[in-house]
Amino acid sequence: MKRTVIVSILFFLNFYLPVFGQAPQVPQVIDFAGLTLKLNDAARKDIQADVDAQYRSASHFQAKLDRVNLYMPIIERVLREEGVPDDFKFLAIQESSLISDAVSTSNAVGFWQFKKGTAEEVFLRVDNEVDERKSIVSSTRGAATYLKKHQRYMDNWATTLVSYQMGLGGARGYYKDKYKGHRSMDIDRNTYWYLKKFLAHKIAYQGQLGKMVSNGSYLHEYPIQGPSTLKSVAKSLGVSENHLQEYNKWSLKGSIPNDRTYTVTYILKGIVPERPLLASNPPSTNDNGLLPVKSNALGFPKITENAKKPNQIKINGIKGVVAISNNQSQLAIQAGISEGKLRRVNDLKASDPIQPGGYYYIKNKKSKAKTPEHIVQPGETLWGISQLYGIRKHSLMAKNRVYKDEQLLPGMVLRLRKYYKKNEAIARVNLTPSPVIAPARTATQQKQPQRTAPVESPTPVAVPVPDKKPANTPKTQIPTETKTSYREHQVKPGDTLYSISRNYGVTVSELRNWNNISEDNILSVGQKLEIRK
């Protein structure tokens, strides 16, 4: 009897308490995609019922919320790049509860619930090998394409949203031109149910975004050009094949074709990227929401001769040396300092290798750099940037509220002198096109900037030594074999040929030729690569 009472109480708390204690209340006015929606009491009652239904079961809500916070950073990024209002991210929750292989009664499939014909209209591949409706990146880009097309006719994001369910012809017939160009709408009991249901999802989840997934997971992206397989990629990333199959159900047979760049997603633990990474209304942006192209200041690191000690140099005005070995102990002897000081002034761990030919400091780096900012390039790390400008790594992180390499995105504007304010979003700019050209893609796909998976390990990569030695660089005694042979790079989880090529100032083709790597770009964790420049 006592056990029955306890179970009943737990059932009540789980099933009913969220309705009374947690569900947010529907306001009288809602801002949606630049529109002002005014709700009467009847509409608020209808929407509130849907909001309460989302919160009715605490366990079900938490499971759904975990999926929301796992996938939402990717959805937000793609919508931003495509110029679709951020509010539409809640539509994916409404459509599929963010279940990748969800199938509706009308045979619509995936995150955004596309039928096969509609998916192909927005350049998604659907066949017996690949179903991009189940890819969070591809399907979100397809949904953005679909919505933008309808918006050109509807000129009202609320009616455009309804057209996602009705179809363009159905929505135009239903609304005529009643709300075309309007920037406010009255929402009442007669408002189309799909719009009211969407508003319920927006209200239910908008206050829950940006929280850590309950098990500490973070969805990581790994762009790859095939042909390849999930099995090969799993080996490269150091994860199981089953894990990749679970989070990449778009690859129906475990293969990755070579017709375009696909994004493989997998889970990292305990890494939560700061959100939002971009300002919601950045000044002078272009169509994809990023600031105009900018470039980094040239000439860093600035290398000058240390007149007092011929075997030393100055790096950005700080005493340093060019490493002639890959061992910390030998480098400390070469620099004339202890190993502990070597690690401290260079932000190194005891296990970090030394890159022969790389620049290393023997005096403390500064809290500020001589240039105001740095534009993040694909594959860069916090350590590499701190070494490039002679700024302490912890100062770099604190100024930008970025504490993991995984939080670095190409085009992010890192400040090297001033701090980002507490609530100030980190700016991001367009990067100049990469000289490494991928195979032709569709017009929609070409808008997607090529992204390289951030390096997971903080193992440092030395700043590349220029091919031609500056006139004022000291004549460091470097063994003949170091000058004439090559450097060695050990592949870490998340490394790609592109990211490695950028770190060393070489091309992908050169890396392939030097190491006899085939066109599939697959690397294995721990693999050693020759860098001959």
User: What pLDDT does 369 receive?
Assistant: 92
For the residues 353-370, what does the mean pLDDT come to?
88
- At 89, phi and psi to the nearest 5? -60, -30
Sign of CA dihedral 209, 213, 216, 219: negative
The pLDDT value recorded for residue 467 is: 42
Beta-carbon contacts of 59 under 8 Å, excluding residues fewer than 6 positions away, are 14
pLDDT at 277 over 60: no
Q: Encoding tokens for residue 255?
A: 């293969």
Domain boundaries, the chain: 15-205, 217-269, 303-531
pLDDT at 505 > cutoff 80: no
**15-205: CATH, from 3.60.15.10, 3.30.1330.40, 1.10.530.10, 3.40.50.1110:** 1.10.530.10
> What is the CB neighbour count within 10 angstroms for residue 264?
25
8-state DSSP, 511: H
Q: CA 477 from chain center: how many Å? A: 43
Six token digits for residue 403: 């504490």
Instruction: Give the length of the chain.
Output: 533
Quick: pLDDT tens for 23-55: 899 999 999 998 999 999 999 999 999 999 998
pLDDT recorded at residue 473: 40
At 257 the pLDDT is: 92
Tell me if the pTM is above 0.75.
no
- What is the per-residue pLDDT across 238-247, written as a single tens digit (0 to 9) for each? 888 999 999 9
Instruction: Tell me the torsion sign for CA atoms 245, 249, 252, 256.
Output: negative
Percent of the chain's residues with pLDDT above 70: 74
**Pairing verdict, β 184-187 and 35-39:** parallel
* 8: pLDDT strictly greater than 70: no
What is the Cα gyration radius of the chain?
Answer: 27
Q: What DSSP letter does each residue of 253-297 carry, written as one string?
A: TSEE-SSSEEEEEEEEES----S-SS-SS-TT--TTSPBPP--PP
| Residue scoring higher pLDDT (324 or 438) | 324
130 pLDDT band (50/70/90 cuts)?
very high
In this structure, are strands 261-269 and 318-322 parallel, antiparallel, or unpaired? Answer: unpaired
> 466: pLDDT confidence band, cut at 50, 70 and 90?
very low
Please give the single-letter amino acid code of residue 449: P
Residue 356 near residue 482, CB atoms below 8 Å: yes
pLDDT in tens, 85-95: 999 999 999 99
Rounded to an integer, what distance in angstroms lies between the CA atom of residue 422 and that of residue 425? Answer: 8
Mean pLDDT of the chain: 78
Q: What φ, ψ does residue 378 adopt, rounded to 5°? A: -55, 135
Q: 217-269 — its CATH code?
A: 3.10.350.10
Same fold, 15-205 and 217-269: no
CA 476 → CA 314, 320, 322, 473, 483, distances in Å?
12, 11, 7, 8, 11
- Residue 203 above 90 pLDDT? yes
Give me the DSSP letters along 175-241: HTTTTTT-SEEEE-TTS-HHHHHHHHHHHHHTTTTTPPPTT-EEEEEEEEESSEEHHHHHHHHTS-H
- Compute, in degrees rounded to 10, the torsion defined by CA atoms 30, 31, 36, 40: -10
Residues 503 and 408: beta-carbon distance below 8 Å? no
- Other CB atoms within 10 Å distance of the CB of residue 155: 14
pLDDT, tens digit, 9 for 90 and up, residues 317-357: 999 988 888 889 989 988 889 999 999 999 998 888 888 77
Token digits for 369? 């750099």
Residue 251 has pLDDT above 60, yes or no: yes
Which uninterrupted H or E stretch holds 398? helix 393-400
The pLDDT of residue 234 is: 87
Work out the pLDDT band at 165, boundaries 50, 70, 90: very high
Quote the pLDDT of residue 292: 56
Contacts of range 102-108, beta carbons closer than 8 Å, 24 or more positions apart: none
**Residue 312: band (very low, low, confident or very high) from pLDDT cuts 50, 70, 90:** confident
CA distance 404 to 458: 8
Is residue 29 within a helix (H) or strand (E), and if so which, with residue range? strand 29-32
